[in-house]
Structures are given as structure tokens and as C-alpha cells.
Structure 1
Amino acid sequence: MGNQIKSVGIVGAGQMGGGIAHVCAMAGYDVHIHDVSADGLQSMLATISGNLARQVASGKTTESDREAALARIALAPQIEGLAAMDLVIEAATEDETVKRKIYQQICPILNPEAILATNTSSLSITRLASTTDRPERFIGIHFMNPVPVMKLVELVRGIATEDQTFQSARSFIETLDKTITVAEDFPAFIVNRILLPMINEAIYTLYEGVGSVEAIDTAMKLGANHPMGPLQLADFIGLDTCLSIMQVLHDGLSDSKYRPCPLLVKYVEAGWLGRKSGRGFYDYRGDTPVPTR
């Protein structure tokens, strides 16, 4: 089979699934997307169409390429719609139970040669692979958000992942015009293992009253040249996601330095999850975001 990936199935029509579909379709792959929500599939298609239109407007692509890319995307309300795909990428919510359930549904209908990949940002590839019928054809392909913009993909092999699977995945990612970093299968891989404790530390800095929301974000933007302050970034990622990755680090590495900040826990308990819920470290309900502390 080698590198003969021609079609890509995606499970999950959220931000990540939609972004992955966008870059795969632009790279010439036939893409089938499955989601339990029919509305989710429709709104994802509208988002992709809008994002492609923006790329046309800014001269990054042409109208005919946009139309061709959209024509390559098919919606699969039933998971059976992914049966013929060479590669299936699961981009469901960061919850192991949900992911396992998807693998149980999809493995029996997939071509035995097909590769199954997960876009998890923190869960063990080895453990997820062990719940499938093809651990040697299972791999972590972790795209960054927003997928069309971010150049990096973390490629993570589980303990059972075969070389051929790794090489096929690697060649596939290169055709998407992304840069690969290979990470070992340890909690949160490379990016989030470094990024999330930094965000957690910024929340501790706020919690301990060292600086205000504005002071902390300004300090890191102008003092460390970060494009976005850590609290603004946490709101963008989603505070529930930040908390779950910190919990994965804390549980998986058993080191107190990964203890989630109590203030992060409080915000998540309040349902203030950041940009997507209207409030986090900033309040997004007005014209401009206002710090909530």
C-alpha cells in the first residue's frame, strides 16, 4: 500500500475536523466527513466555504480551486460513509470514552488496509490503539488550531505503530504543505506539554495577584514577543480543554508541577470557558473583550 492515500475520512465536524477537511480537500484528496449531528455537518460546510472565500479574497487561492475543493468534500451522516477511505482521522472531542466508541463503530467497516489516526492533543496513542482492531495501523496525527493557518503537525506513533504506517502518514502530511515534528507517545506530546503549563502558570500569576489579566497578557506579548497573551490564548483554546490537558499531564506524569490552578477549575465550574461561551478571562459579549478580573 505504501503512500497510496487518496481518500480521507474524518470523524467529527467541529473546528478541528472542519479545518482538517479544508486542508485535505485543498491538497486534492477526496474527503468524507461523518458527525452524529446533521446540523454540525451543514454548519461545518458553511464555515469551510467561508474560510475558502476569505483565502480567495486575500489572493491565497483562486475561485476555481475553491470550487474544486468544495466539490471534493462529501458529508456522511452515517459512519458507513467512511467505509472505503484509505485514511480515517478521528477528530472527536478530547474524551477517551467517546473516541473508543467511535473506533468500535468504525473498525468493522473499514478496509483492513486502511490507516486509522487520531487528532488527540494529549491522550496516549498506545492506549487508544489497543482498543482498535489495527494497533499497527493506528497513529497520532495532531493538527494545530486553526488548521488552515498553522504550519505544524505532530506525528506520534504508539508502541505498536508499524513503520509503513508512519511513512504513509508522513508522506500524507507533507502533501498538505505542513511541517512535521515527530513526538514520542508521552502525555500531551511536545507543543501542549510546554504550552499548557505556561498557560497554567499565567493563571497562577493571576490567582496570586502578581498581575492583572491585562498586565500578564501585555507582559508576555511585549516581553516575550508572543503574538497573543497566555490568558487570551487560554480563552481561544477553551478553558475546559486547558483544564483537561493539565489533568492529563498531572495524572500521566504524577508531578505536582502540573497541578491545575484552582482559579482555572473555578472558571470551568462557572461555565466561563473562554471565547466560545462568551466569557473566560475576558468578557466577549460586547464589542471589545474586557478582562473579567
Structure 2
Amino acid sequence: MKPAPFRYFAASSLDHALSLKAEHGDEARFLAGGQSLIPAMNFRLARPAVLIDINGLAELAGIDRTRENEIRIGAVTRYRALERDGDFLKACPLFADALPQIAHPQIRNRGTIGGNLSHADPASELPAVALAMRARMRMKSARGEREVAASEFFVGLLTTAVETDEMLTEIILPVPAPGSGSCFMEIARRRGDFALAGVAGVITLDEERRCAAVRLALCGVGDTPVDASAAAASLVGQPCTDKAIDDVTAAVRDMIAPSGSVHASAAYQRHVAGVLVGRALKTALKRIGHAA
């Protein structure tokens, strides 16, 4: 398969890339890793008239840990850079769980975090991780810049809050609070496939070993990553017993409405999502040194 004809520009700077996007609007797409865009173009599911290559923009890559309470990741940072940064994985252990689940090493060598989040595939791992971690997305255009919470960034199937003249330039992750544990788990037909269902969970215990806060986000069970934190609200202020966690899994199953596919029925996805929620919460608790 070959893509439809397009014009190619190699951006020399961020300002150059943004001016090209302002000029061409919806007809232009940014090219970084290309692991989602290029296959879509080859199958002519995507037909951008203009490609703006941002691979050379070093200012959009890297991990900034200079701030005390947050970590900032440039949008063109590749999965492999995150996967090989031990200090980053220690600070953000959800990524340590999720990154090895993404496709295969060849894909992770080229794919970028900004490209993944901008593509907004609901079965992808990182949108759920971003939602569970309360990430903020920084976007820039020739008009200026703004930030959007992850909860407002994913607005529909393969659709985000990025405007036609904007670029996602940075992902801002709050550092987990002391006494926090996390876990990402998924079920896929084969390792590297998109998840039939997956869950990212973060739980924080207070000094009395009761739940102080909990975040849950699911992938693969909706048109966007699903924030299921409300289904776990009953845990807050309570001991994290097996019974309490079972109540959360039941609440999650009740709140989600997966559509099913040729690979898994909606009923199977709902069941698996509940199982994964229970396992992820118990694993997160064990990582804090707490037995449910």
C-alpha cells in the first residue's frame, strides 16, 4: 500500500513547525515516530495533504526532573528513552508496568509519547496511565500556549482537545504522594497487541494505613480511556480489605459499557476489567507494603 500524495516539510524549529500548522490547519499532520500515522496513511485511512516532520526538534525531547513536585516529558521523547531511564521509572512506576506492554521493541524505538497521546487510541496504554496520574497536557500554537488536564484532553474516539493549529509539546506528571503504590495490568490476545481491557491504578494510604486517595483508569473498554475513580470512592477513608476491593470491582463493572469486538464480547470485557481492577489494586497495595 502507498499513501496518497502529500507535501513534506522538515521543521527547523518549533516556531517553524507551528507556523506551518497555522498555515495548513486540518490538512497538515505532525510526523514524529510515525508508528500510528504512517500505517494509517498507507491504508489511506488518513490522507493529510501536508506532513510536518518534527523529528529534528531536540527541544521537544527529554525528561525534566528539576521541579520538586512534577516531571515534564517532551512530546517527542521516545518510548525507549522512558523505558531505559531508571530514575524516571522509579518516580513514575506506572510507566514501568505499562511501557513493556506497548507493541514491540522496534515500535518502542521510534514511537513517541506525544504521538501516542495525540492519536488517542482508547485501547492504548498511555492514555489510561496519563489519566490515572492526573497528567496535564501543554499545547502550543502560533497564538500562544495552554494546559489541559488529561481528564479533558481525550474527548472521543481518536479525538483530543488539540486544536487544528496546535501541537502537544509537553506532558506534565505530578510526582506520586508518599505512601502511594501503583500498578498497570492488561489482557491482550498476544503480547504487544492492543488491550482487550486494561487498568491503571494508583492508591495512597494515610498514616493509619487507610485509603487516603485512589485513582483508576481503564483502557480498551470505551471510546476514550475511562476514568473509573468514582467507582473506587468507597475505599477512601476505609481499610483496604478484600471485601472493600471486591465492592470496587463490582462498581467498575456496573459503570463501564464496552462495545465488544471480534476478539472479545462486551460481557467478557466487563468481566475482565473487574478482575484486573481487583488484581491491580492488590498489587499496588503490596508495593506499599500493605496486605489487603
Higher relative contact order, chain-length normalized (CA < 8 Å, sep 6+):
2
Name whichever structure is richer in helix by fraction.
1
Name whichever structure is richer in strand by fraction.
2
